[in-house]
Amino acid sequence: MAVRVGIDLVSVESVRESIRDHGDRYLNRIYTETELHDCRTAQGLVPERLAARFAAKEAVLKVLRPTDEAIPFHTMGVIRHGPGWVELELSGRAAALAADAGLGDLTLSIAHENGYASAIVIAESGLRNRPNDPMLNP
């Protein structure tokens, strides 16, 4: 079984600047409602968490390997479970690209520390014709 790997590193300060400069326009273009909810505390949005999710989206793009087409960021969502693990939810064009490439079992890990956030995505490839795999049936 072949695998594809995507990794990305994001400056938390660049996310802070995007929020400051573009506000809701930036947030709604990049993040899903679930992501915004997961990144909000009583004090407001946490830029470190948002940066980790942005890194995850960039890592997904490296796994999907789109040609010259734009893939909307909100079609790649990070879902947080409990205190420490996350998973990906693809929809729309991102899910279609994954299915077309025979990708499934996308695994995500994210982290943030000292002004940077990172993400790594690993996907199994060659998974065509697996009818019960939700990643391959968008």
Of 46 and 67, the structure prediction assigns the larger pLDDT to: 46
What is the domain-level CATH number for residue 48?
3.90.470.20
Is the pLDDT higher at 69 or at 122?
122
- pLDDT in the model for residue 67: 87
The answer to whether residue 136 scores a pLDDT higher than 50 is no
Residue 109, beta-bridge partner list? 120
- Encode 31-43: b = buried (16+ Cβ within 10 Å), e = exposed: bbeebbebbeeee
Domain tally, the chain: 1
Q: Work out the percent of the chain whose per-residue pLDDT is above 70.
A: 91
List 17's β-bridge partners, or say none. none
Q: What is the pLDDT of residue 68?
A: 83
- Residue 127 is predicted with a pLDDT of 59
| Domain around 56 | 2-136
